[in-house]
């Protein structure tokens, strides 16, 4: 199943060509197409760096801890902005790099390692309903079940009676 993309390839290419070939400003194109200016800036930068391939939608990529560390070290060493580092390492979403920075600051190299996705398998505190056994109930168990059923029925009737009384005698 393909990931849904907000802006298709043709639309991105059209916007980039307006900026690069027709020499429109990024601000003008963003107003003309009614999209944020930073999108135009990002598309133009990726187009300059990687050509038309830079505008293609990316499949969900996973990055190794070594690659993440290399990106973070390069950012620190060369004082790169998130946008510049995203373009340099072909990472389309700069929020990913921010998350890497935060994880590295909080957890070190362990924070950069891939984590398993989804719900954990172990659910030890989960208690299942008791299954009905094939054994017939004893007389005592039958009476206890009937007693519980009658208590519930009695509570339900009391609540119903209270609702009827409240409707008949509304408070002024």
* Domain extent for 41: 1-59
Residue at 32 is within a domain: yes
pTM: 0.57
Q: Check if the beta carbon of residue 68 is closer than 8 Å to that of residue 112.
A: yes
Does 145 map to a domain?
no
Residues in the chain with pLDDT values less than 50: 1
80 inside domain: no
Residue 122 CB-density burial (10 A; 0-12 exposed, 13-18 middle, 19+ buried): exposed
Q: Does residue 38 form part of some domain?
A: yes
List, as one string, the DSSP characters of 93-127. Answer: -HHHHHHHHHHHHHHGGGGGS----S--S--TT--
3 in any annotated domain: yes
pLDDT on residue 135: 79
Q: Is residue 111 part of a domain?
A: no
In a domain, 35, yes or no: yes
What is residue 1's predicted lDDT score, i.e. its pLDDT? 45
Locate 162 and state its tokens. 């209270």
Residue 154 confidence (pLDDT): 95
Instruction: Please report whether residue 121 resides in a domain.
Output: no
Structural domain tally of the chain?
1
């Amino acid at each position: 199943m393909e990931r849904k993309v907000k802006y298709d390839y043709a639309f991105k290419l059209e916007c980039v060509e307006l900026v690069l070939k027709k020499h429109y400003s990024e601000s003008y194109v963003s107003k003309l197409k009614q999209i944020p200016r930073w999108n135009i800036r990002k598309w133009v930068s990726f187009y300059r760096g990687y050509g038309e391939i830079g505008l293609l939608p990316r499949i969900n990529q996973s990055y190794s801890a070594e690659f993440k560390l290399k990106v973070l070290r390069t950012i620190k060493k060369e004082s790169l902005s998130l946008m510049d580092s995203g373009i340099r390492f072909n990472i389309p979403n700069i929020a990913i790099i921010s998350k890497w920075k935060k994880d590295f600051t909080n957890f070190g190299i362990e924070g950069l390692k891939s984590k398993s996705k989804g719900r954990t398998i172990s659910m030890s505190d989960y208690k299942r309903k008791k299954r009905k056994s094939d054994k017939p109930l004893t007389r005592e168990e039958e009476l206890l079940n009937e007693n519980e059923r009658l208590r519930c029925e009695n509570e339900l009737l009391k609540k119903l009676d209270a609702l009827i009384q409240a409707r008949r005698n509304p408070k002024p």
